[in-house]
Amino acid sequence: MPNRTADVLIVGAGAFGLSCAWWMSKRRDGSRILVVDEGEFAGGASGRNGAGFRMQWGLELNIRLCQESIRFFETAAEELDYPPGIGLKQDGYLVLAHSEKALKTLEAAVGTQHRFGVPSEILDPAECIKMVPPLGRERLRGGSFCGLDGSASPFLWLDALLRACRRQGVEVIYGVRARSIEPVEAGYRVHLDDGPVGVAKVLICTDWAAPELLAPLGIDVRTEPLPKEILVTAPIPPAVKPILVSLEHKIAVNQVDRGSVIFTVSRARTGTSTHSTSDFLGFAAPKIVDLVPGLAHVPALRAWGGVSSVTPDMQPILGETERDGIFVAVSSYRGFMTSPAVGRIMAAMVLDGDTNDPIASALHPRRFAAGETIIEPLLNQE
Amino acid sequence: MARSIVIIGAGPAGLAAALEAERQGARVTLVDEGQRPGGQIYRQGSPALGGKDVAEAAEIRRKHDLLDAFCRVRARLDYRPNTSAFALFGPREVHVATDERTQVLGADAVILANGVREVAMPFPGWTTPGVMYAGGAQSLIKGQRTLPGRNVVVAGSGPLPIVVAAQILRAGGKVAAFAPLHPVTAGARNLAGLWHGRGIVLEGLRYLATVMKAGVEQLTGFVPIRARGTERLESVVLARLDAAGRVVKGSEREIACDALAINYGFAANSELAAMAGARMRYQQLTGGWLPEVDSFGRSSVEGIFVAGDMAGLRGALVAETEGRLVGAAAATAPEAFVKQSFEQSWRKELTRRRRLCEFQEVVRAMLAQPRALFAVADDDTIICRCENVTVRNLRFAFSAGHLAPNTIKRSTRAAMGWCGGRTCLPMIMALAEIHAKAAPSAMMTPRPLARPVPLSALANPTKGQSDAEQDR
Amino acid sequence: MAGDSQSPRGEPVGQQARSRHSSFAGDGGGASLNFRFEGQVIAAREGQSVAAALIAAGIRSWRVNESGHHKGALCCIGYCFECRCRIDGEADRRACLTEVREGMRVERQIGLG
């Protein structure tokens, strides 16, 4: 394809890439938007996560990012004209503490949350168990709960975005990799698997893979892969109403609408494989049984891996790089839950040059070089 | 030092492989989901039930010979019935589970001999209780001494429906109608093939004679287009289809029955091979996604071998012969394995397998699965029974370009349920193939667990390796 | 039949092959026993699976799924998971793999159990 061009090339068709594309196309300003993804639909981290969203954070910017995103999820089916719906479930999110120190952190965070209107509260162990009967009592100190938090199906969310993008004229191509970016006079020539494309602006939404594409241009994006593994059970009657996250176990638990319980398990590991590791089941099952002994009898159906990203301060990176016209959006492992707000912010930034958004200005890519660090108290616990 | 071999599946391929590997001095662990050895073809009922075997005498002889031989060495093997292999990690780490416990078995070689499963064609009402696989109906007769119904319609392709119809009759049951998709003479022009399989042909003819003699109505070329009933099957409508899968006007026949036994092909249980990273190929007629193997069952992953139908549907005789070849190869250290000398010393078995495979060409002519069959399902027909995914849901996914098994799964939940897609995937691939007008280019990424295992069993691992390993 | 179970392969197949007696449902093979399905007493034979015993009794459905569809046996050998039902109070037991026992309580599973 000679002389192929677009106004904006988005690399990566995950939750960030597609949400950014949708917000851009929504303006109907005639911009030609092309999205390429080297994998298949929902094959990256956006389709491989615990599916939860929460506004229970300890830092204003994270609270705001998620509040906005959750409001969008609530009306996404209409907004994106997606009749099947995105599998929204707002039965709350219970962050569990198994030590006094963890409980203190939750209490402090709830104080912050209340300042921004998050209806969260601290529950004692008995209240936690009343809410989630299969929970283990041992060592449980309590938790913080917010009823507006919940989950949606990442697959349906991505499918809804994909269809809405295409309806609005965005071209989305899977199975095509962006190999390199070459600066040219009027922007960039991006070399794709199937030939070059000339574009004015590039937005990199490949998360942990962003440095690989940007380093040759001298752009320093500090993010690393963060592999996680997931185990899902057979569908069972409702047993875990809110989403659970245990700071001690490093496990998130989400019983989806369909009845399956999804356990997202973190442990120190490196690499970018999405395959289950051979010792995962033996590692995860005892921890799961310790966390929710009431579910011990439930059969596990499937396990798989997902590779998210993490930045030095565990916060997203959103903004224009030191190269004009090259933008980056790195999730730092909350891509799914923040994607609606990130899409809006990045669309405004890429198309209008709007850099006044207070969230984006805190999350700009050059903060590490400038020695700025953002501390999210809850994440440093996990 | 004796080599340790884990064999998965105790059908003819697995048993023959176990016998041969043991004979060559290997330490063998034989893992099987069944309560008793034999697999599907040589399924044994509970000793408590007794009852007569309704199979052909020659088949019973083969079964007894193999099972007797197995009984003689059984004490020297680590034989584990009621045990599922639920994961295989590269290169040779087999994860097994019983109801209560799990264990990781390491081995020098792993032989996958876990066969094939049945494939249905979807049609309105095919999820009505009473509609079952023909092989399922057969397992009730063989293993349970129980008839699948009082009045059974048998329909499908290949030789299995003939056998099942005959066995229902021999067990004292009634067959309301027999609807072979292809004429039983479909492969009859292949004389060489027929000659090589003459013994089996004879057995087949005897089964056919049972069906003819009973005066069962034969509806050749008819397929089920609707099953009626809610809580139980009441009747089935059979009809002929044109090349596009449309019902030939006036051909419909409604037949009252309380069971419908169907089989429209087989799919290889190749998930573990793929999970271990073996190179796969697609061949719809012989089982879909199959591991690539050489003449001694060696897959692309060192130490992972495949024997029997899972390497391509070829029947029990091939499975048993191949089991011996693969058992011998697996018992030999890779550095000592010289293909040419192996081919020399196993010439007889290799020739026998080749000839039996020629006979399989005859069988394959009866197995042809026209894609038109898949046009019978309407929008409301359920394809994924675990997750209630209908043809309509699938077409919605296809419309966004989700045509690969992975993306269909993500966008519809098909294959995410209890059975892991073992029932629906072959049908989904057929529907996607029709939509895309192209054969599938990728299989669904196989994930552990190949079988559901309770969290408590996963949290309760038996430490250490297999007995075979411990003995070393 | 007792002799059968002592045969060398630990199985009765050899005896069966020589047996002239059919022992299909009602023919007397296997000691008879009683179990309950939805409270109703059903006769079965020792060694039968729950699925086989229900089918022999003319019952085809023993689960109603979340969408209201009736479910019974499909593969009969354990991999399709269609025949799940409630056995002795426990949900999601496969009827085709569970041997029927005297006094067993089998219930139709409704929804997710």
A237 to chain C: nearest residue by CA? C112
The position carrying tokens 């592999």 is: A227
Answer yes or no: do C72 and B129 touch at CB < 8 A.
yes
Answer yes or no: do A234 and C92 touch at CB < 8 A.
yes
Q: What is the DSSP pairing of strand B131-133 with strand B259-263?
A: parallel
Distances, alpha carbon A266 to alpha carbons A85, A142, A250, A331, in Å = 29, 21, 6, 17
Provide the shortest C-alpha distance from residue B101 to chain A (in Å).
11
Q: Residue C60: which of B67, B130, B385 has the nearest Cβ?
A: B130
Query: What pLDDT, on the 0 to 100 scale, is given for residue A273?
Result: 86
CA-wise closest residue to C60 among B219, A179, B132, A214:
B132
Answer yes or no: do C111 and A237 touch at CB < 8 A.
yes
Answer yes or no: do C76 and B132 touch at CB < 8 A.
yes
Q: In the A/C pair of chains, how many CB contacts fall below 8 A?
A: 11
Cβ contacts of A28 within 8 Å, gap of 6 or more: A168
Cβ contacts of C40 within 8 Å, gap of 6 or more: none
The per-residue pLDDT of chain B, averaged, comes to 94
Identify any residues that bridge with B152 across adjacent strands, giving them in sequence order: B175, B259
pLDDT surpassing 80 at residue B404:
yes
Element holding C85 (H helix, E strand): strand C84-87
Which of A233, A236, A260, A295 has the most C C-beta neighbours within 10 Å, making it the best mutation to test the interface with C? Answer: A236
Contact list, B171 vs chain C (CB under 8 Å): 22, 24
**Residue B323 exposure: Cα atoms within 13 Å on the Cβ side:** 31
Answer yes or no: do B448 and A281 touch at CB < 8 A.
yes
pLDDT surpassing 50 at residue B342:
yes
Provide the shortest C-alpha distance from residue A275 to chain B (in Å).
8
Q: How many residues comprise chain A? A: 382
Query: What pLDDT, on the 0 to 100 scale, is given for residue A355?
Result: 84
Distances, alpha carbon B348 to alpha carbons B16, B200, B357, in Å = 16, 20, 14
Q: What value does the mean pLDDT take over residues B7-15?
A: 98
Identify any residues that bridge with B283 across adjacent strands, giving them in sequence order: B288
Q: Is C29 on the interface with B (CB under 8 A)?
A: yes
Give the tens place of pLDDT for each residue, A35-94: 999 999 999 999 998 899 999 999 999 999 999 999 999 999 999 999 999 999 999 999
pLDDT along chain C (113 residues), means of 10: 35 33 50 96 96 97 97 97 98 97 98 90
- Distance CA(A336)–CA(A15), nearest Å, equals 6
Q: Is B449 on the interface with C (CB under 8 A)?
A: no
Q: How many CB atoms lie within 10 A of CB C34?
A: 12
Query: Is C75 in contact with B118 (CB distance < 8 Å)?
Result: yes
Q: Is A301 on the interface with C (CB under 8 A)?
A: no
Cis peptide before B449 (omega within 30 of 0): yes
Q: Residue B458: which of A155, A258, A285 has the nearest Cβ?
A: A285
Confidence of residue B464 (pLDDT cuts 50, 70, 90): low
Identify any residues that bridge with A317 across adjacent strands, giving them in sequence order: A330
CA-wise closest residue to B444 among B399, B396, B400, B412:
B412
Query: What pLDDT, on the 0 to 100 scale, is given for residue A276?
Result: 86
pLDDT surpassing 60 at residue B324:
yes
Q: What value does the mean pLDDT take over residues B126-147?
A: 97
Query: What pLDDT, on the 0 to 100 scale, is given for residue B467?
Result: 45
Rg (CA), chain B: 22
Contact list, B402 vs chain A (CB under 8 Å): 41, 159
Contact list, B143 vs chain C (CB under 8 Å): 49
- Distance CA(B272)–CA(B417), nearest Å, equals 18
Backbone angles phi, psi at C54, to 5 degrees: -65, -45
Provide the shortest C-alpha distance from residue A340 to chain B (in Å).
20
Q: What is the pLDDT along chain A (382 residues), one digit of tens a residue?
A: 458 999 999 999 999 999 999 999 999 899 999 999 999 999 999 999 889 999 999 999 999 999 999 999 999 999 999 999 999 999 999 999 999 999 999 999 999 999 999 999 999 999 999 999 999 999 999 999 999 999 999 999 999 999 999 999 999 999 999 999 999 998 999 999 999 999 999 999 999 999 999 999 999 999 999 999 999 999 999 999 999 999 899 999 999 989 999 999 998 888 888 888 899 999 999 999 999 999 999 999 999 999 999 999 999 999 999 999 999 999 999 999 999 999 999 999 999 998 889 999 999 999 998 898 898 888 754 4
Query: What pLDDT, on the 0 to 100 scale, is given for residue C19?
Result: 34
Query: What pLDDT, on the 0 to 100 scale, is given for residue C26?
Result: 44
- Distance CA(A291)–CA(A296), nearest Å, equals 10
Q: What value does the mean pLDDT take over residues B440-444?
A: 87
Confidence of residue B292 (pLDDT cuts 50, 70, 90): very high
Q: Is B47 on the interface with C (CB under 8 A)?
A: yes
Q: Is A117 on the interface with C (CB under 8 A)?
A: no
Strand extents, DSSP E, B120-187: 131-133, 152-156, 175-180
Q: How many residues comprise chain B? A: 472
Element holding B288 (H helix, E strand): strand B288-291
- Distance CA(B409)–CA(B415), nearest Å, equals 6
Query: Global pTM?
Result: 0.94
Q: In terms of pLDDT, which residue wins out, A356 or B469? A: A356
Query: Which other chains touch chain C, taking contact as 3+ CB pairs less than 8 Å apart?
Result: A, B
Answer yes or no: do A259 and C112 touch at CB < 8 A.
yes
Contact list, C112 vs chain A (CB under 8 Å): 235-237, 259
pLDDT surpassing 60 at residue B78:
yes
Lowest mean pLDDT among B233-242, B288-297, C3-12, C28-37: C3-12
% helix / strand / coil in chain C, to the nearest 5? Answer: 15, 30, 60
Query: What pLDDT, on the 0 to 100 scale, is given for residue B205?
Result: 95
Contact list, A291 vs chain B (CB under 8 Å): none
Q: In the A/B pair of chains, how many CB contacts fall below 8 A?
A: 102
Give the tens place of pLDDT for each residue, A127-161: 999 999 999 999 999 999 999 999 999 999 999 99
Q: Is C32 on the interface with B (CB under 8 A)?
A: no
Query: What pLDDT, on the 0 to 100 scale, is given for residue B17?
Result: 98
Chain B residues 405-434 with a CB less than 8 Å from chain A: 406-407, 410-411, 413, 416-418, 420
Query: Is A20 in contact with A234 (CB distance < 8 Å)?
Result: no
Q: What value does the mean pLDDT take over residues B224-229?
A: 98
Query: What pLDDT, on the 0 to 100 scale, is given for residue B12?
Result: 98
Give the tens place of pLDDT for each residue, B39-68: 999 999 888 888 788 999 999 999 999 999
Answer yes or no: do C13 and B130 touch at CB < 8 A.
no
Q: What is the DSSP pairing of strand B152-156 with strand A33-37?
A: unpaired
Confidence of residue B463 (pLDDT cuts 50, 70, 90): confident
Q: Is B174 on the interface with C (CB under 8 A)?
A: no
Answer yes or no: do C70 and B129 touch at CB < 8 A.
yes
Contact list, A237 vs chain C (CB under 8 Å): 111-113
Q: Is B214 on the interface with A (CB under 8 A)?
A: no
Query: What pLDDT, on the 0 to 100 scale, is given for residue A380?
Result: 58
Reported for A353-358, long-range contacts at CB under 8 A and 24+ positions apart, including other chains, are A355/A319, A355/A320, A358/A61
Contact list, A299 vs chain C (CB under 8 Å): 92
Query: What pLDDT, on the 0 to 100 scale, is given for residue C31?
Result: 87
